[in-house]
Structure 1
Amino acid sequence: MKSWLFLICVSVQFSAQITLKVTEIPKDTPKNATIYVAGNFNGWNPNSTPLIADEKGNHSITLPDGDGTIEYKFTRGSWDTAEGNASGKAIPNRNSTFTGKPQTIEAKIISWVKTAEKASTAAKNVRLISDSFLIPQLGRTRKIWIYLPPDYETGKKKYPVIYMQDGQNLFDNSTSFSGEWEIDETLNKLFSKGDSGAIVVGIDNGGNHRIDEYSPWKNPNYGGGEGDLYADFLAKTLKPFIDKHYRTKRGKNHNALIGSSLGALISNYCGIKYHRIFSKIGSFSPAYWIVNEEFNHYIKNSDANLSKTRIYYVAGSSESKNMTKDLETVKNNLEKKGLKPENTLVKIDSYGNHNENYWKGEFAEAYQWLFKTSNTKVKKRK
């Protein structure tokens, strides 16, 4: 919260801010409740960015200068108390675009979601490993999910494994705050068409600790700095557990890391640090900006052997003015350290947005490219 109070205080220095102003809240809102905003600008943290109430009953916040499109929702401090529609069901993300001029976006909150009405959409072959899996490196616990291929219970073969960040958004709409990726439905469909299958391990993010855990370095305004320990958890604690309890292909050529936004950042970092364990990385709309200088410095000074690493990049050209530039800089620095151009695919979409719906549509191609031999293709779709 400190970082956002700081940003609010200095926002007067900027000329292209967006002010979000809630002019109406549901009648059943608890008295003196704090209204928050969560979005792609604060790691989708539901209780880190409070709006300020005025004497007229409005709730407002001015976001600092930015570019591109922001997506967001209002909450009362958790995803169990996020805004909903007239029926109390989840709504799509709100969005606003920085125009280069100050603007005020007025909004009315129709209801708060009734979480009991959200039915699970997870396939039968998705299981909860633990709702309190210990992360000894951080002294915290985490909910861990696993997707098993349709023939897992009837055979003896081993499978490659994908470790994915933001696990609550992967399989089940009832646990996601902005729509699920439908990883289970996608892989089941590919399996029915002849794909040999893969195991997917989904690690829920840390909520208030998401930015801290997904960034290896501290950003003075947003936090971070625990990503190195989180990467240790993935490589030294979680992967050995999965290999011990499930039929996995253990070699690095059969193990991938995939994430979006900050999840892409930590997947990239972990794939470099533990290049002997993971050789495939899916980087969806990577949020390199939060520690851009530090990450590129790390790459330049790394002694990692990336000759066998494959990386699939995808992003929307309109997500932010520096998204494509930052991605290309990281890619070029990795290639200077041994990443082969033929093992890199970059896809820049003019229509791509910073949200689950966009990333969901890109997963199948990323999966198929990462786990199959392919020539380099740089795709730019109009």
Structure 2
Amino acid sequence: MKRIYFFLIFTSSFLGVNAQVKVRFELQNIPQNKDSIPECFVAGNFNNWKPNDPAYQFSKVNGVYLLEKQLPADAYEYKITRGSWEKVETGSKGNAFGNRSLNLKKDTVVKFTVANWADQFKKEPLKHTASVNIHIIDTAFLIPQLAAKRRVWIYLPPSYVLSTKTYPVLYMHDGQNLFDQLTSGYGEWGVDELLDSLIVKGQKEYIVVGIDHGGSERLKEYNPYDSEYGKGKGKAYIDFLVKTLKPYIDEHYRTKKDSKNTVIAGSSMGGLISMYAIATYPTVFGKAGVFSPAFWLGKAIETDVKNALINLNGSKIYLVAGDLESKTMVSDMKNVYQILNPTGENKNIMMVEKADGKHSEWFWHREFVDFYKFISN
């Protein structure tokens, strides 16, 4: 596989608070791909992560792909794409990794390689990708509230084995899709790799507990309300987390047990049930990650959130969705956000809308980084 060398050359200048710095991007040695005319872009927090932004597209000059911009001196995260997130840069084996970071304080030269593209990775039989920090607590953990059994995963931070300290805990739904591509139906979030990378960069360490969904039962188990798919079992599922699973985790692992250090998060139906969990048990879950929530299937969540407002004072809630999801996805999310934060002044309630966001694991993988930083502060 040919390597792509990418140079960021920053013009020498004094950087004041609002100073602009000239940035010259040089992209060389484009690897073979199925595109007849390769088009490459930079996507980052400087352009709302738009993967095909014409203003951040490379031009070919004398055989070299060039892009010159002026950016304020600031901290940035970014990736290289060929026009879509399906064609984003990856590791040498097609594995996803965290965003690249760049802190512009002075004249800088950053040299790095892009090893592969997501769409060019040779498809091979799926294999286990869970990191060494992932363990299976039980392949059939009893859920007495649902008269069911589920596999439960746990991510233990790198320092766990060699330390005696306690850790905050993040509970997540759809365990099949969090850590391992072999068990994921539509691709994995890559939570373990993301955490490993973030922790190396100094971010707070969390234990992460992932609970498998129940397949065909998912639309009922993650919904606290009755719907066209049947009688909702979400209340019983959350009771399981609060009354059975969390006590087990707190007993068998070194955890910080208070609500400030207990987080719940999930996407789609997992977003709905996470919002319900923090609204119903704010003294248990102090923080929540609500990704692409399926509020359309549980409109009563708005009433429950209104009734819970007085008890959510101090809670941290992160809501995120994309414009390319279902028709009412963003508007439903905004309705709940307005209830939680009517003036927009509560910094503990965050809502993020992304123009390119799709109902997909790659989107939640990407947005997990900012969510994790939010709950870590």
Assess same fold via TM > 0.5: yes
Map 1:223-302; keep pairs closer than 5 Å.
223-292=230-299, 294-302=300-308
For 1:361, the aligned partner's letter is R
Structure 1: how far apart are the matches of 2:190 and 2:152? 16
Question: Is the aligned partner of 1:194 residue 2:202?
Answer: yes
Which residue number in structure 1 is paired with residue 121 of structure 2?
none
Structure 2: how far apart are the matches of 1:291 and 1:191? 36
Counterparts in 2 of 1:247 and 1:348: CA distance versus 1, 3 Å: same
For 2:272, the aligned partner's letter is L
The one of 307, 318, 334 aligned to 1:328: 334
Question: Is the aligned partner of 1:181 residue 2:189?
Answer: yes
The one of 149, 152, 165 aligned to 2:160: 152
Cα drift, residue 339 of structure 1: 10
Structure 2: how far apart are the matches of 1:366 and 1:287? 18
Identical positions, percent:
45
What is the DSSP-based 3-state SS (H/G/I as helix, E as strand, rest coil) of the residue aligned with 1:218?
coil
Structure 1: how far apart are the matches of 2:308 and 2:353? 27
What is the DSSP-based 3-state SS (H/G/I as helix, E as strand, rest coil) of the residue aligned with 2:224?
coil
Structure 2: segments with no counterpart, 5+ residues: 1-123
Map 1:1-382; keep pairs closer than 5 Å.
117-219=125-227, 221-292=228-299, 294-302=300-308, 305-335=311-341, 341-372=346-377
Cα drift, residue 301 of structure 1: 3.1
For 1:234, the aligned partner's letter is L
List per-residue Cα deviations over 1:275-307 (Å, max 9, x = no partner): 001110001100000121x21122233475111
What is the DSSP-based 3-state SS (H/G/I as helix, E as strand, rest coil) of the residue aligned with 1:137?
coil
8 Å contact from structure 1 (residues 275, 304) kept in 2: no
Structure 2: how far apart are the matches of 1:157 and 1:339? 37
8 Å contact from structure 1 (residues 261, 284) kept in 2: yes
For 2:161, the aligned partner's letter is E
Larger helix proportion, structure 1 or 2?
A: 1
Structure 2: how far apart are the matches of 1:304 and 1:180? 36
List per-residue Cα deviations over 1:152-187 (Å, max 9, x = no partner): 000111111000000010000000011111100010
For 1:345, the aligned partner's letter is M
8 Å contact from structure 2 (residues 203, 376) kept in 1: no
8 Å contact from structure 1 (residues 309, 339) kept in 2: no
Which residue number in structure 2 is paired with residue 18 of structure 1?
none
Structure 2: how far apart are the matches of 1:295 and 1:268? 8
Structure 2: how far apart are the matches of 1:302 and 1:196? 29
TM-score scaled to structure 1, two decimals?
0.64
Structure 1: how far apart are the matches of 2:161 and 2:237? 31
For 1:217, the aligned partner's letter is Y
Structure 1: how far apart are the matches of 2:235 and 2:219? 12
Which residue number in structure 2 is paired with residue 50 of structure 1?
none
Larger radius of gyration, structure 1 or 2? 2
Counterparts in 2 of 1:194 and 1:312: CA distance versus 1, 3 Å: same
8 Å contact from structure 2 (residues 272, 298) kept in 1: no
Structure 2: how far apart are the matches of 1:140 and 1:349? 37
Cα drift, residue 137 of structure 1: 0.6
Counterparts in 2 of 1:226 and 1:182: CA distance versus 1, 3 Å: same
Supply the RMSD in Å over aligned alpha carbons.
1.8
